[in-house]
Structure 1
Amino acid sequence: MTIVLISIALTIFVIYGFYNAQQLKSIEITKSITIQKSKEEVFDMVQYLNNFPKWSPFLAQDPNQKYKITGIDGTIGAKYHWEGNKGKDLGLQEIVSIAENKSIKMICDIQKPFVAKPIFDYSFKTTNEGTLVTQNFQLESGLMDAFFMWLFGVKSKMEKTNEQGLQLLKKSLENV
């Protein structure tokens, strides 16, 4: 009887998990922040990957992370490579599109602890309060990956990390 109940409970859990995972196959997170600096200053902070350590939420979470930049910094094709968490995190982000003082698009190639290729689109707009930076994060994944993202609450963690990154961007520019 106990085995039957455990089997039923496990089956319900798996069905519920895959139902929720279906909604996580495509994740889009949009965050915005206003920074009291010129659009050019804010744009340059994001465009030049050499500046990323000043506002990287990943480096803030893992200060021992190793990184290097390849290509011509601030141009299409420039890459920010990282290795952190004692070798358990590995990947790179590459600038794939730049519209001067308007938008920057980066594609990440995450190899560890899981394989993913999220896209970050940044847009910049001058407002009365400063520069409005909008970060649009997109991630497409398979059903099994989405199941594990649901199981471990990854979307919530992504939202917090993206928010932390924008807060660090603001701090790095306004507290100079």
Structure 2
Amino acid sequence: MLKKLLVGLAAAILILVGLIASRPAEFTIQRTATLPGPTDVAFAQVNDFHQWNAWSPWAALDPNMKTTYSGPQSGVGAGYAWTGNEQVGEGRMTIEQSRAPEHVRVKLEFIKPWAATHLTDFHFKPVAGGTEVTWAMSGTNDFMGKAFGLLMDMDAMVGKDFEKGLSNLKGVVEAEVKKRAEAEAARVAAAKKAAEEQAAAAAPVVAQPTP
């Protein structure tokens, strides 16, 4: 009886292993949203890691998370590393491609709780009503990654984070567009006032008649 149970268990394990091994290794998770404003506003928020805490869906998961920046302020070579609780783990990001205001590619390296390397791409396209932003992550799952995929819907789980991040980014972009509009209005008003003052100063003085 015990022997039959062991044989059955071994067979079940082999079937499970075969099922996991047969799953596709390559994956892509992608979400798209339309944000108000020109492409350069949204691009600037992604191309500079110093701006990510304002919209990243993971920034608020650990208030005590330690972060460090490296390389240039923004663009190719800019780096960001983090160490935090079990929800955020440990890892680093590096901008590998930056083509303003159309595309940013980030190399995403997880260190803890498990090691993995993926590519993250942001594409920006002008559309009616603003900018279409597509956030995509692609990579290759090892055996453990494939096994995890049997238990959890990675597209739904990570996609939910992408949707939240894009929603946060929309708020940041809206605020930046409003800030730019107010600054432009103030500049135009100041220029108009200066022109009026200059015109008044240059106007000829009309002599008053002597009583």
Gaps of 5+ in 2: 177-211
1:78 alignment partner in structure 2: 78
2:173 maps to a residue whose letter is L
Q: Which has the higher contact order (CA 8 A, sep 6+)?
A: 1
Cα distance 1:14–1:27, how it changes in 2: closer, same or farther (>3 A)? Answer: farther
Cα distance 1:169–1:9, how it changes in 2: closer, same or farther (>3 A)? Answer: farther
2:69 alignment partner in structure 1: 69
Q: Which has the higher helix share?
A: 2
Q: Contact conserved, 1:69 with 1:79, CA < 8 A, in 2?
A: yes
Q: Which has the higher strand share?
A: 1
Q: What SS is found at the alignment partner of 1:68?
A: strand
Distance 1:131 1:14 in 2: 49
Q: What SS is found at the alignment partner of 2:116?
A: coil
Cα distance 1:168–1:87, how it changes in 2: closer, same or farther (>3 A)? Answer: closer
Q: What SS is found at the alignment partner of 1:125?
A: strand
Cα distance 1:131–1:151, how it changes in 2: closer, same or farther (>3 A)? Answer: same
Distance 1:140 1:91 in 2: 17
Deviates more, 1:153-162 or 1:5-14: 5-14
C-alpha displacement of 1:23? 2.9
Which one has a bigger Cα radius of gyration?
2
TM-score scaled by length of structure 1: 0.86
Q: Contact conserved, 1:96 with 1:106, CA < 8 A, in 2?
A: yes
2:60 alignment partner in structure 1: 60
TM-score scaled by length of structure 2: 0.73
Q: Contact conserved, 2:89 with 2:113, CA < 8 A, in 1?
A: yes
Cα distance 1:58–1:34, how it changes in 2: closer, same or farther (>3 A)? Answer: same
2:106 alignment partner in structure 1: 106
Distance 1:18 1:171 in 2: 46
Taking the TM superposition and a 5 Å limit, the aligned residue runs for 1:10-25 are: 11-12=11-12, 15-16=15-16, 18-20=18-20, 22-25=22-25
Taking the TM superposition and a 5 Å limit, the aligned residue runs for 1:159-174 are: 159-174=159-174
C-alpha displacement of 1:158? 1.6
2:92 maps to a residue whose letter is L
Percent identity between matched residues is 26
Distance 2:42 2:164 in 1: 16
Distance 2:152 2:10 in 1: 17
1:16-40 per-residue CA deviation (whole Å, 9 max, x = no partner) reads 4652564352110111010112211
